[in-house]
A = this chain, B = another copy of it.
């Protein structure tokens, strides 16, 4: 079994066409070619932490993948990152372990950011004027970084809850070629951006329906549990098109789940990202105003990225 360090993983990523890999993953998923059992879970109280085991395979592929990812929210006190994790790749024909990717959660961050870029590719208005980012964490940085793959826009307005978080964010983005404006007034994002990515762990809606006018695409990637919510459910009912990374997951977690529970939208109306990639369903059209994509993270993204890393190592 190949043991691969985080440094090795980071070194090999530029060789991989991540957009192509992850798009192919969503495509296979929506074609019913992917086996993804329910997520395994362990929860701890003292100190609080949770562990998720996501696993699955693409039928007739070479490999199956098991991802272990944990979040212990007091790790800072131990001088450790909250997120810990690894991806394990096995031979689908024999069960032989092929690779252990000690990514410490990094590949999950990357595949999540790539999914955001794929949403923008298929759903954002043609002319992205300014990108809006809601949040100041890791994904708030990485989503911008990976959006470079699909747009020439290098102007962003970033919303955060505190000046210090926004300052820190701006400093961390110094070495990118984005021109970044920061704000604590959410309207500054909604008034000026036609591609907005929400990247918070908020449990209360941040964006309201009345803030949204004109041709806008929103990718809501922060809410991946039943509790989290970044968009008022009215934002979804206003949308011309609502896209899920996985219909079955979005029915029970994330933005769509809240809108379904509030009877603001019905599952029939939800289109899967893979269906748009496959050409089975239409994405944004010239008459579309608001489109909303809800990303909860699908194991096929882990399968695709870990297999690709192992191939290029």
Residues of A with Cβ closer than 8 Å to B? 1, 3, 35, 37, 40-42, 44, 46-47, 49, 51, 53, 55-57, 60, 64, 66, 68, 70-72, 75, 78, 80, 83-86, 88, 90, 92-97, 100, 102
Contacts and interface: CB of A to CB of B under 8 A. Distances in A.
A151 to B, nearest CB: 35
> Closest 8 interchain pairs by CB?
A70-B95, A84-B95, A72-B95, A40-B40, A72-B94, A75-B94, A80-B94, A84-B96
Given A42-B57, A96-B80, A51 B90 contact: yes
Nearest to A69: B95
A66 B86 CA distance: 12
Contacts of A102: 1, 97
A88 B256 CA distance: 35
B66 A93 contact: no
Given A41-B37, A42-B64, A90-B70, A51 B100 contact: no
A72 B49 contact: no
A94 B92 CA distance: 31
A10 to B, nearest CB: 18
A92 B56 contact: no
B97 A86 contact: yes
Given A3-B3, A97-B84, A51 B64 contact: yes
A23 to B, nearest CB: 24
A78 to B, nearest CB: 6
Contacts of A95: 49, 51, 70-72, 75, 83-85
28 contacts: A1-B102, A37-B40, A40-B40, A40-B55, A42-B55, A42-B56, A42-B57, A44-B92, A46-B60, A47-B93, A49-B95, A51-B64, A51-B90, A51-B95, A53-B66, A66-B68, A68-B88, A70-B95, A71-B95, A72-B93, A72-B94, A72-B95, A75-B94, A78-B93, A78-B94, A80-B96, A84-B90, A84-B94
A311 to B, nearest CB: 20
A37 B56 CA distance: 18
A95 B64 CA distance: 23
Contacts of A90: 51, 68, 70, 84
Nearest to A71: B95
